[in-house]
Amino acid sequence: MADAPTTLLILGASGDLTRRLLLPGLGSLLRIEPERHVVVLGADRSEMTQDGWRRRVSDSLAEAEVDGEVVERIVAAARYEQTDALDPEQLRALVDGVEDGLVIYFALPPQVTVGVCELLAAIDLPEGTRLAMEKPFGHDLETAVQLNEQATKVVPEDRIFRIDHFLGVNTVLNLLGLRFANRIFQPLWSAEHIERVDICYDESLALEGRAGYYDKAGALIDMTQSHLLQVLAMFAMESPASMDPDEIRSLKAQVLRATTLWGEDPLTASRRARYTAGTIDGRQVPDYTSEEGVDPDRGTETLAQLIVQVRNQRWAGVPFVLRSGKALGDDNKQITVTFRAPAHVPDGLRDCGAPDKLVLELRPGAVTVEMSVNAEGDPFELTQKQLHTPLGQPRMKPYGEVLAGILDSNPLLSIRGDNAEQMWRIVEPVLDAWRADEVPMEEYAAGSGGPDGWDRVPG
């Protein structure tokens, strides 16, 4: 319940994720639901005073425009403990000071998370303890399986929340309404009517000081392996009877189990590229390999494209193109559904040749339908017109939506263990091919649209 007291124990509390995403997300939640009682307990190896931690919490809540009395209440209960989470005695002492209603939030690298879970398995945790884990969930299929096995030794699967903040994005949630709550698109949502689906998250932002994480991950692991495959699963899943979390996550699992590389070939189903020096909005951007903290020998891509297929009756033969990159000329964050051409256009009508499309902008949220209609003037000439509507603004930040689910023990917006493993299973052949240098590293100038020809589907 929203008014049940909960201790949010953040391991890795001094890190960038806590400051930049987690605490602001909590603030956006408390602004909408101020009655929640949350004890924000930070823990990390770094030294920090109680006043310093409370000021950090206070600043995040104030920035989210949380009511002043709520800020005072949350800040008064907040505290920080300098702790090495990999030290058994320090971890035990940290957890022993918490009563029922504990959420352990791992703002930690996956290899550290596994080590902490090994220690937690030997500790008596408060009743109903929940684990919240940041992506990536392992660094390949084998380590994902190991992480899942270790985490379920600590608490049952239904109390493990694997965080993908994309699932809290308003437009992604609106997919459910668009798919299942109207008669317009529901009968068109299949290979019979849809020719291809592009799920794209291109950013004009370059590295922006994130080399410590990004240079080890790259665009494929950072975005495609997690976020974009989750969007695909929500887009392609069958109709649920209700919004029951187990049912929704099982339907997504069906999609992921049926998803394979286009043509079963990582060499033709994937492309990778890296930005070179260029200009974005009048600002000079250096070559990626010259960015501070980047290891040029690592061969990290900044643009990744994956073409997959969902091998079931609904989607057989439809390519799903998943693409994400940095330092591109335009922000292109959308799902584009390209419909098949009409079976017949009457003789005498001059078709414009452009396919009908449905475009769902992920940020900012909007829906656009591009459709063929009669042109102005000549009634026998066809042209493309757009029907466009913005979507309602989100009630809180994506991390706020995700945190609400964790605090309420509702796993709807988290990733189940089998889903996490399936996502690694899909991309692992591509990672192997890239590491073996079997897929060439292309280049594109920062501020450009990326390499040419990436819109073509092979074969």
Dist. CA 225–CA 143, nearest whole Å: 14
Torsion of CA 154, 158, 162, 166, to 10 degrees: -170
The number of residues in the chain equals 459
Annotated catalytic residues are 227
Helices (H), 39-169: 50-63, 68-77, 88-96, 110-120, 141-151
Strand order in the sheet with 38-44: 79-82, 38-44, 6-11, 102-106, 130-134, 160-163, 414-415
Alpha-carbon span 246 to 274, nearest angstrom = 39
388 phi, psi to nearest 5 deg: -130, 135
Please tell me what DSSP assigns to residue 362. T
CA distance 318 to 336: 13
Cβ-contact 167, 230 below 8 angstroms: yes
One-character DSSP codes across 279-295: EETTEEE--GGGSTT--
Assess contact for 14 and 23: CB atoms under 8 A.
no
